Amino acid sequence: MERNAELRDFLRTRRARITPEQAGVRPHPGPRRVPGLRREEVAYLAGVSADYYGRLEQGRHLNTSDSVLDAIARALRLNATERDHLIELARPPRGRSRRRSPAAQRIRPGMLALLASLDHVPMFLIGHRMDVLASNRLAHALLTDFDAQPAGERNFARYIFLDPTARERYAEWDEMAADTVANLRRYSGRFPHDARLAALIGELSVQDADFRRWWADYDVQVFSECTF
């Protein structure tokens, strides 16, 4: 049921951001109860029946083809990352997504050596669920010393939302924080059974109102695993 709710809410938020005028369709007569497109209008734009789209948005998986999902992605004006997220939500988990969590994260020795040699710019490596895998001395000085934290708490999202100094360090904190949430949302689509991610989301949701607000937006984005 949780997976179905993810698909439902993602599709609802995507169609809520597009007006009929923007989509180039004539609005249905009568008062509108939604801020954006209705289900029927998305179905029309995608070339599928309203009943079919309605069942998909309800999370009732229909073994939907790539062509139909592509049509829905075009109707909702999804970017490439959002399209991939839609596909992962609309289909039963398989392959890598069946694992309860991703494979163990390892850093190549050469990357660690490069990180240590770059002492003129703050640099850290980010892995799954935005865990901070390594950071250099300038990052410790300007941001925070991730290496001094317990291993389970070395996480960039925790730093952004739970460390008060993060809002002072980043001039565009709102943008960075929103992007961080969007990255976690994208990651949750790839690894829906990651227990460590669930614990992280729960912790941030309880402790920070901004995180709760952005998490409810269902935006998705991909961060590079190497962040400067």
Rounded distance, CA 212 to CA 46, Å?
31
pTM, 2 dp: 0.85
Nearest Cα to Cα of residue 222 among 84, 92, 94, 88: 84
Confidence class for position 227, pLDDT limits 50, 70, 90: very low
Confidence class for position 228, pLDDT limits 50, 70, 90: very low
Rounded distance, CA 7 to CA 90, Å?
7
Q: Above 80 in pLDDT, residue 76?
A: yes
The predicted-structure confidence for 7-39, as pLDDT tens digits, reads as follows: 999 999 999 999 988 988 887 667 777 789 999
Unique residue bearing structure tokens 């991610």: 197
Rounded mean pLDDT of the chain?
86
β-pair partners for 226? 125
Please report the domains of the chain, with CATH numbers, ordered by start residue.
2-92 (1.10.260.40), 109-227 (no CATH)
Rounded distance, CA 156 to CA 128, Å?
11
